[in-house]
């Protein structure tokens, strides 16, 4: 199933959250990257049928989200995990999924409960399914959120900042799960954590201040930073040029080891090396180019 | 790929089978859903309501059985308060927390049931509970000889309760939706009721205000000719707020914050 986004804009009063976005998203994992306030959540909410664009058109499969009846039809095949997921603390994980299954019109009780058991297994919550949600850790709640989004076997899964606030182990676990889920559906992952995208997505789009600044393959974004990624030593008190964006600064015995993106460093620097860029370098280079 | 309502055969690598999406809810599943909704509604508000009716019932019983001269008069006053502004206040309180503040609001908006479906379930269950408590109290009070008017037909008794309940309920929901805050919603709903109760003496001489008194029966207007006008006006106001609420919910996105 393809998702086509044509000239989509969204205004909140005088604030323009999205400006003329054009995207085509195919099956597999698709990353949506951008700083806070870039418009990622707005775009995801439009895809999740919660918001209507001020102008433009979104088509999921054969359904135009501009029509009320088609929006409702899309909801049967859509899984959504919002950025801020609230849960009912006094329900157990299994009860919450059962309740969500009923809201998703999955009325065959035995089939629904079989699916819930399978989903709890997939998100590694089978052992704690009958515990109250108030006893769950942050990571367990996010995984339960993924499980509710997967109820009904949706063909489109929209997840907003799923790894926010998780410890490294939980983040890896969740990323692996999303990658596996993307094998037979569209998974749209929005985040401002570049590592999450680099570990999971082959295609991505970058938003900045409501504008689409990149749409393509991950390696294409990495390639943008070829010849612009540097490592060098500098003495204490060295002042970096404003043209350079620091990716990392590691304290050394005498001075600092810098990893930067930008033009070749000059001045009192030593051991200047050109590095192979990462996705983070490509993203920072792109952001540098889009600065006013 | 065509999106339809048919079950989709899953070829998921995660090995879980898809479930048929159905249009009509079987009775057994409706009962289960009702049970979940009841658990998720503010059960303490419902408990408070039931305890409130019981407490007032006890107070009225004491008034009737203490043998004092003013006993019956006090019991009538209390009962009129319970069935009119009291029930209205409860309706406003319950309606303001029907939807706003639900932690899963954003997720449920993206389901096929949508906010309309959830709101309908919550409203049905909440107002059924209020109706049950009110009907039990009314029956008990009538059996104990309490009168609400000189000529109290079933329609009179229905409108005595229904008009303030609908006005306050719709106003509570309106306030909560407009402010995205249940407490503020209740606050907004209580303003006309408080005005009706506390400014009664100042406003009553002004004939034009009579149709808008929410506590018109409690304030002594039950036997006046404009009591029916008052009830019909209140129902009209409730209808106006109902239309506004419906219009508001048609653009569900107003319920969301401005996450960008």
Range of weakest confidence among A188-197, B13-22, B139-148: B13-22
Can you say whether the dihedral through the CA atoms of B230, B235, B241, B243 is positive or negative? negative
Q: Is B111 touching A (CB cutoff 8 A)? A: yes
Residues of B in contact with A123 (CB under 8 A): none
More confident residue, A91 or A72: A91
Eight-state DSSP code of residue A132: B
In which band, very low, low, confident or very high, does the pLDDT at B14 lie, cut at 50, 70 and 90? low
- Residue A66, classed as helix, strand or coil, is coil
SS3 state of residue A87? coil
Task: Specify the DSSP element, H or E, that contains A256.
Answer: strand A255-261
- Look at residues B21, B33, B251, B115 and name the one whose alpha carbon lies nearest to residue A155: B21
Q: Can you tell me the distance from the alpha carbon of A76 to that of A56, in angstroms, rounded to the nearest whole number? A: 23
Query: How far apart are the two ends of chain A, measured CA to CA in Å?
Result: 37
pLDDT per residue as tens digits for the range A56-89: 999 998 899 988 888 888 998 899 999 888 899 9
CA B222 to chain CA centroid, Å, is 22
- CB atoms under 10 Å from CB of B92, counted, come to 30
| pLDDT the model gives residue B1 | 40
Q: Which of B8, B110, B113 sits opposite A105 (nearest CB)?
A: B113
Q: What angle do CA B250, B110, A152 make, to 5 degrees?
A: 140
pLDDT at B11: 47
Determine contact: B191 vs chain A, CB below 8 A. no
- Mean predicted lDDT score pLDDT of chain B: 86
Determine, for residues A75 and B22 on separate chains, whether the beta-carbon distance falls below 8 Å.
no
Token readout for A247 is 């990716």
Pairing of strands A186-191, A156-160: parallel
Contacts of B4 in chain A (CB under 8 A): 73
* More confident site: B110 or B43: B110
Give me the pLDDT at residue B17, please: 66
| Model pLDDT for residues A155-203, shown as the tens digit of each residue | 999 999 888 777 888 888 888 888 988 988 999 999 888 988 998 999 9
Q: Tell me the pLDDT tens digit for each residue of A14-31.
A: 899 999 999 999 999 999
Residue A139 is predicted with a pLDDT of 85
**A143/A125 Cα distance (integer angstroms):** 8
Alpha helices in chain A (DSSP H): 40-47, 68-75, 93-103, 109-122, 138-150, 168-181, 194-198, 218-224, 279-290
Which among A186, A258, A101 has a CA at the least distance from the CA of B32?
A101
CA gap A160, A137 in Å, rounded: 19
Q: Residue B5 pLDDT more than 50? A: no
Q: Which two tokens stand for residue A144?
A: 């339960």
**Average confidence (pLDDT) over A213-235:** 92
Q: How close is the nearest chain A Cα to the Cα of B44, in Å?
A: 14
Q: Do B16 and A38 count as a contact with CB atoms less than 8 A apart?
A: no
Asked if A42 lies within 8 A of B5 by C-beta distance, the reply is: no
Rg of chain A's alpha carbons, rounded to an integer? 22
pLDDT given for residue A59 in this prediction: 95
Nearest to A153 among B8, B107, B110 (CB): B8
pLDDT tens digits, A243-267: 889 999 999 888 889 999 999 888 8
Which SS3 state, helix, strand or coil, does residue A63 take?
strand
CB atoms within 10 A of CB B151: 8
Provide the percentage of residues in chain B whose pLDDT is more than 70: 90
In angstroms, what separates the C-alpha of B91 from chain A's closest C-alpha?
A: 24
Which of the four pLDDT bands, split at 50, 70 and 90, describes residue B16?
low
Task: Indicate the DSSP class of residue B82.
Answer: I
Helix B114-143 to helix B27-40 angle (10° resolution) is 80
Q: For residues A101-124, give the mean pLDDT.
A: 91
Is B108 an interface residue toward A (CB < 8 Å)? yes
Closest CA to A33 of A41, A21, A45: A41
pLDDT band at A291 (very low <50, low <70, confident <90, very high): low
> How do residues B218-240 score in pLDDT, each as one tens digit?
888 888 888 999 999 999 999 99
Q: Which of A27-41, A45-59, B18-32 has the lowest mean pLDDT?
A: B18-32
Mean pLDDT of A215-238: 91
Chain A residues within an 8 Å CB radius of B252: 50
Contacts of A107 in chain B (CB under 8 A): 20, 22, 24-26, 29
- pLDDT at position A123 is 86
Q: What is the pLDDT of residue B198?
A: 86
Q: Which of A1, A42, A75 sits opposite B110 (nearest CB)?
A: A75
Looking at B17-113, list the stretches that DSSP marks H as alpha helix, in order from N- to C-terminal side: 27-40, 43-65, 71-81, 87-96, 105-109
Closest to A269 measured CA to CA, from A292, A249, A291: A249
Burial pattern B118-135, b for ≥16 Cβ within 10 A else e, equals: bbebbbebbbebbeebbe
- Using DSSP's 3-state secondary structure scheme, residue A247 falls into strand
Tell me which residue has tokens 């079950």.
B7
B 218-257: CB under 8 A from A: 251-253, 256
CA–chain centroid gap for A90, Å, is 29
Q: What is the mean pLDDT of residues A98-107?
A: 94
Contacts of B15 in chain A (CB under 8 A): 118
**A99: which chain B residues are within 8 Å (Cβ-Cβ)?**
33, 36, 40
What is the distance between the alpha carbons of residues B181 and B172, in angstroms, rounded to a whole number?
A: 10
Residues in A closer than 8 angstroms to B12, CB to CB, are 153, 183-184
- Taking the CA of residue A287 and the nearest CA in chain B, the distance in Å comes to 18
Q: Is B212 exposed, middle or buried (0-12, 13-18, 19+ CB in 10 A)?
A: middle
How far is it, in rounded angstroms, from Cα B8 to Cα B1?
12
pLDDT tens string B177-197: 999 899 999 999 899 888 888
B158, B159, B163, B166: CA torsion to nearest 10: 30
Q: What is the pLDDT of residues B39-87, one digit of tens each?
A: 998 778 888 899 999 999 999 999 888 867 788 888 999 999 999 999 9
Q: Of the candidates A40, A63, A151, which has its C-beta nearest B3's C-beta?
A: A63
Nearest partner of A88 among A28, A29, A148, judged by Cα: A148
pLDDT of residue A3: 94
Q: Are B175 and B192 in contact (CB under 8 A)?
A: no
- Give residue B4's pLDDT: 39
Count contacts between A and B (CB, < 8 Å): 167
Q: Do B29 and A181 touch (CB under 8 A)?
A: no
Q: What is the pLDDT of residue A96?
A: 96
Helix (H, G, I), strand (E, B) or coil at B228: helix
B167 Cα to chain A: minimum distance (Å): 29
Contacts of A51 in chain B (CB under 8 A): 253, 256
Per-residue pLDDT at B6: 35
């Amino acid at each position: 199933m393809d998702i086509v986004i044509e000239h989509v804009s969204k205004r909140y009063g005088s604030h323009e959250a999205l400006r003329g976005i054009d995207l085509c998203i195919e099956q597999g994992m698709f990353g949506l990257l951008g700083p806070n306030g870039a418009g990622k959540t707005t775009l995801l909410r439009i895809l999740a049928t919660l918001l209507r664009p001020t102008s433009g058109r979104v088509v999921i499969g054969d359904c135009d989200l501009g029509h009320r009846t088609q929006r409702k039809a899309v909801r049967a095949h859509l899984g959504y995990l919002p950025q801020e997921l609230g849960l009912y603390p006094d329900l157990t994980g299994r009860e919450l999924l059962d309740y969500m299954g009923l809201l998703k019109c999955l009325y065959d009780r035995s089939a629904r409960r079989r699916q819930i058991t399978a989903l709890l297994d997939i998100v590694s919550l089978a052992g704690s399914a009958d515990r109250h949600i108030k006893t769950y850790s942050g990571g367990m709640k996010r995984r339960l959120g993924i499980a509710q989004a997967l109820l009904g076997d949706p063909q489109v899964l929209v997840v907003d900042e799923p790894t926010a606030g998780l410890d490294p182990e939980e983040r890896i676990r969740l990323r692996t799960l999303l990658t596996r889920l993307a094998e037979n559906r569209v998974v749209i992952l929005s985040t401002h954590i570049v590592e999450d995208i680099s570990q999971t997505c082959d295609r991505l789009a970058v938003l900045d201040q409501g504008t689409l600044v990149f749409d393509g393959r991950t390696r294409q974004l990495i390639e943008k930073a070829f010849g612009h990624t540097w490592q060098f030593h500098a003495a204490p008190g060295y002042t970096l040029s404003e043209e350079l964006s620091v990716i990392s600064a590691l304290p050394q015995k005498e001075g600092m080891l810098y990893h930067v993106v930008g033009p070749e460093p000059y001045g009192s620097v030593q051991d200047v090396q050109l590095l192979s860029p990462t996705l983070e370098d490509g993203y920072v280079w792109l952001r540098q180019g889009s600065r006013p | 790929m065509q999106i339809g309502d048919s079950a989709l055969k899953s070829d998921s690598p995660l090995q879980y089978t898809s479930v048929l999406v159905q249009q009509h809810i079987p009775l057994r599943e409706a009962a289960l859903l009702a049970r979940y909704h009841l658990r998720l509604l503010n059960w303490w508000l419902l408990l408070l309501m039931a305890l409130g009716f019981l407490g007032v019932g006890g107070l009225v019983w004491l008034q009737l059985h203490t043998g004092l001269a003013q006993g019956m008069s006090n019991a009538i006053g209390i009962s009129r308060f319970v069935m009119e502004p009291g029930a209205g206040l409860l309706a406003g309180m319950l309606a303001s927390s029907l939807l706003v503040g639900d932690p899963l609001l954003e997720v449920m908006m993206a389901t096929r049931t949508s906010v309309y479906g959830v709101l309908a379930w919550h409203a049905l269950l909440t107002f059924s509970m209020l109706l049950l408590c009110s009907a039990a109290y009314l029956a008990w009070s009538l059996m104990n000889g309490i009168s609400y008017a000189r000529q109290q037909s079933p329609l009179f008794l229905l409108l005595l309760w229904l008009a303030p309940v609908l006005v306050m309920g719709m106003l509570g929901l309106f306030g909560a939706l407009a402010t995205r805050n249940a407490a503020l919603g209740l606050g907004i709903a209580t303003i006309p009721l408080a005005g009706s109760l506390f400014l009664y003496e100042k406003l009553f001489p002004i004939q034009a205000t009579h149709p808008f008194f929410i506590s018109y029966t409690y304030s002594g207007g039950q036997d006046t000719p404009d009591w029916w006008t008052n009830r019909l006006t209140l129902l009209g106001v409730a209808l106006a707020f109902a239309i506004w609420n419906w219009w508001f919910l048609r653009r569900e996105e107003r319920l969301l914050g401005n996450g960008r």
